[in-house]
């Protein structure tokens, strides 16, 4: 599981993340606290930057689980990084809708600007690039997820500009790079073109006309 990655000797939640972990565990009925394994692994990854074995062992101890059961969860879900990743973790969706809309150009732009391939990180530790399955935003394909944020409606040049901004330490606003409104058609809304209302909707007491 650890491969050739240098593993820390120990891990423990700091005060901030321990408080969050305790709040999450408290949501579950007595005897069901082990159901918190996914969010606690996520917390451990956010604190450490990736998920070492010591963090999995810490979560197992906190939830009174056999460590192997936590390893099974951590190795099943691709959302958990079992080796270090860059400050900007790039997840390029190449599933059919994104591919049909040009995900090859998005991946190509990452290779061009960063000089790395899928599964690699830049030498300065700033970027890591992986290929992922559907990110669930097919209508605004192609999508590149940067850490927790989606950048949508990308093409090669737009991806290059995004990466160059990140290299300068500038984080562009997330969402559609073309200014698409929510999930409206690429050419703009054809119905409900405005999100404003001519008048406030009636309350239940006033009744409907």
Domain extents for the chain?
A: 15-76, 88-176
pLDDT of residue 4: 61
pLDDT of residue 2: 47
Per CATH, which fold does 88-176 belong to? Answer: Glutaredoxin (3.40.30)
pLDDT of residue 209: 46
Q: What are the pLDDT digits (tens) for 40-87?
A: 999 999 999 999 999 999 999 999 999 999 999 999 998 999 999 999
Sign, Cα dihedral of 2, 5, 10, 14: negative
Calpha distance 28→36 (Å, rounded): 8
User: What pTM, to 2 d.p., does this model score?
Assistant: 0.81
Q: CATH second-level architecture of 15-76?
A: Orthogonal Bundle (1.10)
Longest CA pairwise span in the chain (Å): 69
**DSSP symbols for 28-87:** SPTT-GGGGHHHHHHHHHHHHSS--HHHHHHHHHHHT--HHHHHHHHHH-TTS-SS---S
Helix (H) or strand (E) holding 107: helix 103-114
pLDDT of residue 208: 47
pLDDT of residue 193: 67
Residues of the chain with pLDDT under 70: 1-4, 192-209
Q: Which residues have CB under 8 Å from 206's CB, separation 6+?
A: none
Phi, psi (5° rounding) for residue 59? -65, -40
């Amino acid at each position: 599981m650890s491969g050739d990655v240098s593993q820390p000797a120990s891990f423990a939640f700091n005060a901030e993340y321990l408080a969050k972990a305790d709040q999450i565990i408290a949501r579950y009925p007595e005897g069901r606290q082990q159901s918190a394994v996914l969010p606690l692994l996520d917390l451990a990854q956010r604190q450490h930057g990736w998920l070492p074995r010591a963090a999995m062992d810490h979560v197992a101890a906190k939830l009174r689980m056999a460590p192997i059961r936590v390893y099974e969860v951590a190795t099943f879900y691709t959302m958990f990084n079992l080796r270090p990743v860059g400050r900007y973790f790039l997840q390029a969706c190449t599933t059919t809708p994104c591919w049909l809309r040009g995900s090859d150009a998005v991946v190509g732009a990452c290779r061009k600007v960063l000089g790395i391939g899928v599964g690699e990180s830049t030498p300065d530790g700033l970027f890591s690039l992986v290929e992922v399955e559907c990110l669930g935003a097919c209508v605004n394909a192609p999508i590149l997820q940067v850490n927790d944020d989606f950048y949508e409606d990308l093409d090669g040049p737009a991806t290059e500009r995004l990466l160059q901004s990140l290299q300068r330490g500038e984080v562009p606003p997330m969402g559609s790079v073309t200014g698409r409104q929510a999930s409206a058609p690429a050419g703009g809304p054809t119905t409900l073109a405005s999100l404003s209302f001519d008048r406030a909707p009636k309350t239940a007491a006033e009744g409907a006309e």
